[in-house]
Chain A
Amino acid sequence: MSEAESYDHPDVVLCPGGPMLLRGDHVVQDSDGVAHRTTRPVSAVCRCGKSQTKPWCDGTHQVLPAKLRPA
């Protein structure tokens, strides 16, 4: 691979079956209207609705049956 090419580096990444990765500093409002500021360069926002640390992903999506996992 040439070192002179340019690379994909999106701000938002939808992970198949898992969270949404969010790059940068953002405030995320959860479904109860509470605001959460990101604390790290890349954050994972839960998309399956089953995380115990919402709005952040905590890996719970991994144990859900395929049909309950986000596309």
Chain B
Amino acid sequence: MLTPKARGPLSQAVNEALAIAPDRVDVPDAGSAEDAAIALWTLYELHYRGFDDVDDALEWHPGLLGVRRDLEQDLEDRLRSRWTPYTPTGDVGEELFAYVAAHDGPSLAKHVQSQADEEQVLELFRLRSIYHAKEADPTAWVVPRLSTGPKAALMELQFDEYGDGDPNRLHSHLWALGMDALGLRADYGAYIDDVPPEILEQNNVMSLFGLHRRLRGAALGHLAAFEMTSSMPSRRMAQGLQRLGLADAMVAYYAEHVEADAVHEQLAARSICGALVAAEPSLAGDVFLGAFTCLDLEDRFARRQLAEWGVA
């Protein structure tokens, strides 16, 4: 992948710094939320697969890390300001299920199931591809930060995301097969220049939670909410694709998620978050910050996209 297009003065300055690797990196203020979001996304990407046009050594460039830190602080402040703090008093798994069930938001999957046209569905896939091409990767950062109980529990789930050792079943690979069958680009980050700020923020949050040991509770709460809101929406997606006669390979991706995430939601809520809070009770609040953030950011994206399509 090449460096994404700049979306304002800050991301322009970040891209220039990535090109010339100056000793000091001075950047202007962001011109917009979108400018800040793409700059942060670009800086995070250095820790995943990097860019063909950027020196791999810049992953740990102190000047760039400083820019990243400022952008992360703004993002985390924003997330915390949107959230009403909540600390569970009983069983964490049960409370997570209740917390997610009590949340009501717009559903893109319902629109795809019954109304969306082919063009809208393909657009949705281009936007979702930014995450699905690195599906489960942001959560993998969390593994070494955990103690025995939650570490084993998280790996039980992650192993399944990664195909149980079979590359043909790796979820991001199933996604790529679906994209290819639909005639869309399956390569990593292919549509980054097309995605709106809501998608960038969803992605950046997963990296923020994954890359900061301090935020491991939020990372696992985010995972739980993500898995808990996947099974039924995945079936709606599969039904929408079938209604439109779209590629079986993408139907297969969603069918796998109906079944896998019915398991994963139980594991994430009960064995992963349950074990984490048992081992580190002080992280209980952050688990719910993560869960809330996952639900809230999906709402923001869904509202934007439905409005763009004139649906809501």
Contacts and interface: CB of A to CB of B under 8 A. Distances in A.
A67 B129 CA distance: 39
A63 interface: yes
Interface in B157-182: 159-160, 164
A63 B235 contact: no
Contact of A18 (B152, B259, B261, B266): B266
Given A58-B231, A63-B232, A19 B266 contact: yes
Interface string A12-24: 0101111101000
B195 interface: no
A58 B147 contact: no
Q: Is the interface of A mostly helix, strand, loop or mixed?
A: loop
B237 interface: no
B284 to A, nearest CB: 14
A56 B259 CA distance: 7
Q: Is the interface of B mostly helix, strand, loop or mixed?
A: helix
A42 interface: yes
Interface residues of B, number: 27
Contacts, number: 66
B53 to A, nearest CB: 39
A3 B152 CA distance: 13
B297 interface: no
Contacts of B94: 16
B97 to A, nearest CB: 8
Best-buried of A7, A13, A40 by chain B (most CB within 10 Å):
A40
A9 B267 CA distance: 12
B258 A40 contact: no
A30 to B, nearest CB: 14
- Listed from nearest, the 9 A-B pairs whose CB atoms lie closest are A59-B231, A57-B262, A44-B263, A44-B262, A59-B232, A1-B279, A59-B262, A58-B258, A15-B266
Best-buried of B97, B255, B258 by chain A (most CB within 10 Å):
B258
Interface of B: 94, 97, 101, 147-149, 152, 156, 159-160, 164, 231-232, 235, 255, 258-263, 265-267, 270, 278-279
Contacts of A58: 231-232, 235, 258-259, 262
Contacts of B148: 3, 7
A60 B232 contact: yes
Contacts of A29: none
A42 B160 CA distance: 9
A44 B266 contact: yes
Contacts of B159: 41
A14 B148 CA distance: 23
Given A21-B263, A40-B164, 20 more contacts: A1-B278, A3-B148, A7-B149, A13-B270, A15-B266, A16-B94, A19-B263, A40-B160, A40-B260, A41-B159, A42-B160, A42-B263, A43-B263, A53-B258, A56-B259, A58-B232, A58-B235, A59-B261, A59-B262, A63-B232
Contacts of A59: 231-232, 235, 258, 261-262, 265
A19 B160 CA distance: 18
B240 to A, nearest CB: 15
